Structure 1
Amino acid sequence: MIFPQSVTEMFGFSLVSIIVVANVIFAISVVFVERKKPSAALLWVSVLFFLPVFGFLLYLVFGQTIYKERIFRLKEEDDRIAKEVIARQEQELEHFHVPPEDKAGDYLKMIAMLLRNDGAVMSNDNMVEVYTDGNAKFDALLEAISGAEDFIHLEYYIIRNDALSRKIVTALARKAREGVAVRVLGDAVGCHSLPKDFFRELTDAGGEVAFFFRSKYLHINMRVNYRNHRKIAIIDGKTGFIGGFNIGDEYLGKGPLGNWRDTHLKITGSAVHSLQVRFFMDWNHAAQADLGFEERYFPPAEGREGALVQIVSSGPDSRGEAIKKGYLSLIGNARESVWIQTPYFIPDASIMDALKMAAESGVDVRIMVPCKPDHPFVYWAGFSYLWELMDSGVGVYTYDNGFIHAKTVVVDGIAASVGSANWDIRSFALNFEANAFLYKGDVPPRLKKIFADDIASCTKVTPKMYANRAFTVRFKESFSRLLSGIL
């Protein structure tokens, strides 16, 4: 049907009017309702008014917010128990003795801060293994699944529709048929490509599956913010996994980015109990369930002395940006070196200042990022910050042997963090993340050695490269950085 010109003009005018009115409403919400940080609020208002249509679409995808209330609520009794544990450990930390020669004692105040801020209980009886190759990590996970006797809890941001994921689902279904309780939690956006019947083998065997922030509309989810980016697994309450690997063939190096370099931990010890609590809170929210804190889920550890570990979580449901504060504390405690690996680097002002101050104080600060982007916008925005840090003496390296997805930091070979949180604003404030912070044992020095070995596969970025970069690269960096605070 061909409409008269006046009708089409009227329709066009109405659409523009609707968008303009919507932008005004969004702007009011940004300033008076959501109360975003001043810099982010100013940027959103500018985008909405100067780029009306583009800004309207951006806000629909990236600007949606939820109030800063705790969306995960423990039952009253469980909450009371948790508070008692935290209060008791705060008292213990005041009298916690560390030999003078043990430099881990420098981190007691940081441990106390994360305990108060995030409820991150400390344990010092953990055995920790480090995996940097997907084949080794998933072999270890499948072995742990095979040996499960009571329950298996998996929580991953991405689960692909491919051979590795199907292999894991089959292994889980086998255990479910044996009577083991199996629960799998995926993120609705990270797992959006899975067919509807992907987990049928598991659910038919009695396993349970849930998705975080699932949309009412199949394969359509506008909630880009507030994703569950965690990658954890708990088997029988005795063995836990945490780190950067999602589940899919690409994490075995079989994807378009080639070799996949990541970091994941296997933990046995009391820190696994903290992973279990994290899973319960996420599962109860996503599945609308009420898993209780039964003793079977928290079997006593062997009690041997081992690595000192805190499991730290953060997200829009938490009081503060706990993982970011952990990163800042690590940088502040550094005496010799701060070595960081991250695929995405879009820091806020506090992280930038801390890294600059450390480097300018003589600390050996190094940052390793991929040589190729999987998200070009984020990649170019990140380099705009890295160039700036180089002026303060920070060493920047691009990993050339495939794609580096590890989210690690190691300080002085004494303390470290491994988990799901990137060094970017999205991980600090918008996504639900989980990291293990380690303060003694052989893991921090091992991570430092791994970083040093990775340098052999890197190119060191120099000021000359910065000066000689093409105009198109400069434009990409500038434009990407302009919007990096809201995307």
Structure 2
Amino acid sequence: MSTLNIVLSIITAVFVGNVILAAIVVFFERRNPASTWAWMFVLFFIPVLGFFIYLVFGRNSSKQKVFEEKTANDKKTLFKYVDDDEELAERVVMQAFSNDGIGLGKEYKYLYDFATLNINSGSWLTYYNKMEHFTDGVQKFDSLISDIENAKHFVHLEYYIFRGDELGKRIIDALADKAAEGVEVRVLYDYMGNRTLPKNFFKRLTDAGGQAAAFPVPPFLRINCRNHRKIAVIDGVVGYVGGFNIGMEYLGMVKRFGFWRDTHVRFEGEVVAQLHIRFLMDWNYSSNDRIEKNSYYFPKYKCKEYLPAQIVCSGPDTQWRNVKNSYFKMINEAEKTILIETPYFSPDDGILEALRVAALSDIDVRIIIPAHPDHPFVYWASMSYLGELLEAGVKCYQYETGFIHSKTVYIDGIVATVGTANMDIRSFGLNFEVNAFIYDPKTVRMLEEDFYNDLKECTEITKEWYYARSRSFRFKEALSRLVSPML
């Protein structure tokens, strides 16, 4: 066989392989059309490399199978937790079939609508809670370390990023000191998010009796399917959730980012148990040291302050895209205002259309993204989506004072969400996420003040500015938009 024939045979084999793979993408993966066309583009125009990119980033079916066992175990754990508490079981049943919000004010309708929606994610509505919120990393970590130092029974942390810098060492020192006192300490961190962390970083903690585990996924999925959650639970009484990871940049002390603007909340009350049961399920998946549900880990803590809230989780280990569905419902139920802060804005078609319809309905829709992004690719993709929304009347802004990492949505001054999920396709379907939803108007208005204060540090993205962007900007934007839906 001549060299030419050999080359032609190889080219033919590659072409046939691409056709077969493209057929799998189109017919078997059940993707949305935007994602399908993005992968078709990669497979046909980058024949060999595209195949390996697809293996790493694109196989939805393999992602689902990998986490089937975790999903099943999580459901058993959750059902057992509810069934063991007769009062809670009765409340969950009532919320699942309640129509008590009908005919009441908007505030109460939100309560019952979202209670019903999020029952499907295993999240019931809690009523009695106390909340403190942080926009500054120094204050947040001072508070967390103080709670760690005051721990009597256990400290459980779950963080996407745990830097080996001054702050990371400060946290480890506090945890090791408590472990040496006999307090149970467990740290769960994402494998991929901490791939550069020194292997002996947790040695002081483990030598003192504490434990550390990496959230594992099979090699092909390590780039995707990241555990993006940030949870801290102390003694089952105090719980933290929000956007801050553990590292000096989150204190605003890394020159590249400058001032770091984020949002995190600290809870006491009923909702802490929901944060803790999520930690328990993730820990039991990642560690051989299984935690069994009992009164030691879930003490009865009575909070007298009325603040309705619930914790909503989503990811490859949940049946539904719970956080995304909640965002979608919030936007569709809005009557006056929709305020969004997100470092990464790459929504799917449903969220994009909901925002556009809201603006066309004369609802005040405002979105803040960073002016100085950490990922330029995401920034250019974000601009393509914002450009569409500008036409519908959405007001878009770039935060100029450092980097804004806050992941928040506020609706009508009545309902708010603070958590780890960005307004992007990755957070909607690939990452493991956790958000707190808050239904107290007084608290929501307090949180909204942060948004309006941030506007003072922003430059508005006007139609004039957007239409005047350079050709190179437009090219980067178009390319980034094309591949952004790839799941």
Q: TM-score, normalised by structure 1?
A: 0.91
**Cα distance change of structure 1 residues 20 and 191 upon mapping to structure 2, 3 Å threshold:** farther
Q: Distance between the aligned counterparts of 1:139 and 1:121, measured in 2?
A: 31
| Residues 194-273 of structure 1 aligned to structure 2 (within 5 Å) | 194-213=197-216, 223-255=222-254, 256-273=256-273
Aligned counterpart, 2:343: 343
Structure 2 Cα separation of the partners of residues 56 and 253 of structure 1: 40
User: Is this contact kept in 1: 2:99–2:112, CA < 8 A?
Assistant: no
2:171 to 168, 172, 177: 168
- Cα 1:288–1:42 change in 2 (3 A) is farther
Q: Which residue of 2 aligns with 1:276?
A: 276
| Cα distance in 2 between the residues matched to 1:100 and 1:391 | 36
CA spacing shift, 1:97–1:56, aligned 2, 3 Å: closer
Q: CA deviation at 1:11?
A: 11
Q: How far, CA to CA, are the matches of 2:240 and 2:123 in structure 1?
A: 17
Alignment of 1:293-304 (within 5 A): 293-304=293-304
Alpha-carbon spacing, 1:288–1:32, altered in 2? closer, same or farther (3 Å): farther
Cα deviation for residue 21 of structure 1 reads 6.4
Q: Say whether the 8 Å CA contact 1:86–1:121 is kept in structure 2.
A: no
Aligned to 1:406: 406
- Cα distance, 1:86–1:369 mapped onto 2, change above 3 Å: farther
Partner-residue secondary structure (3-state), 1:237:
coil
Structure 2 gaps, min length 5: none
The alignment yields a C-alpha RMSD, in angstroms, of 2.6
What is the deviation of 1:25? 5.3
Is the contact made by 1:86 and 1:115 (CA closer than 8 Å) also made in structure 2?
no
Aligned to 2:110: 107
CA separation in 2, counterparts of 1:334 and 1:372? 30
Structure 2 CA distance for partners of 1:22 and 1:153, relative to 1, 3 Å:
farther
Three-state SS of the structure 1 residue aligned to 2:71 is: coil
1:204-224 Cα offsets, whole Å, 9 max, x none, are: 1111111112567xxxx7622
Query: Partner residue of 1:67?
Result: 64
Q: CA contact under 8 A between 1:110 and 1:326: conserved in structure 2?
A: no
On the 8 A contact 1:86/1:119 being kept in 2, the answer is no
Amino acid at match of 2:250: Y
TM-score, with structure 2 as normaliser:
0.91
Relative to 1, partners in 2 of residues 1:113 and 1:98: Cα closer, same or farther, differing over 3 Å?
A: closer
Look up the match of 1:285: 285
**Secondary structure of the equivalent of 1:267?**
strand
Amino acid of the structure 2 residue aligned with 1:40: S
Give, as a single letter, the amino acid of the residue that structure 1 aligns with 2:48: V
The question of 1:180 aligning with 2:183 is answered: yes
Corresponding residue SS for 1:153: strand
Give 1:12 deviation, angstroms: 8.6
| AA aligned opposite 2:162 | I
Deviations 1:157-182 (A, max 9, x none): 01112110011001100000000110
> Could you tell me which residue of structure 2 aligns to residue 3 of structure 1?
none
Q: Does 1:155 align with 2:161?
A: no
- Residues 247 and 12 (structure 1), Cα distance of their counterparts in 2 relative to 1, 3 Å cut: farther
Structure 1 residues not aligned, in runs of 5+: 1-5
Letter in 2 for 1:37: N
Alignment match of 1:135 (pick from 115, 133, 138) = 138
Q: Which amino acid aligns with 2:211?
A: E
Question: For residue 362 of structure 1, what is the amino acid of its counterpart?
Answer: D
Distance 2:316 2:217 in 1: 17
Return the offset for 1:307: 1.1
Q: Match of 1:386, as an amino acid?
A: L
Which amino acid in 2 is paired with 1:223?
Answer: R
* 1:86 Cα deviation after fit: 5.6
Q: Give the match for residue 35 of structure 1.
A: 30
Deviates more, 1:252-261 or 1:107-116: 107-116
Q: Percent identity?
A: 46
Distance in 1 separating the partners of 2:53 and 2:206: 37
SS of 1:319's partner is coil
Alignment match, 1:305? 305
Contact 1:130 1:264 survives alignment (8 Å): yes
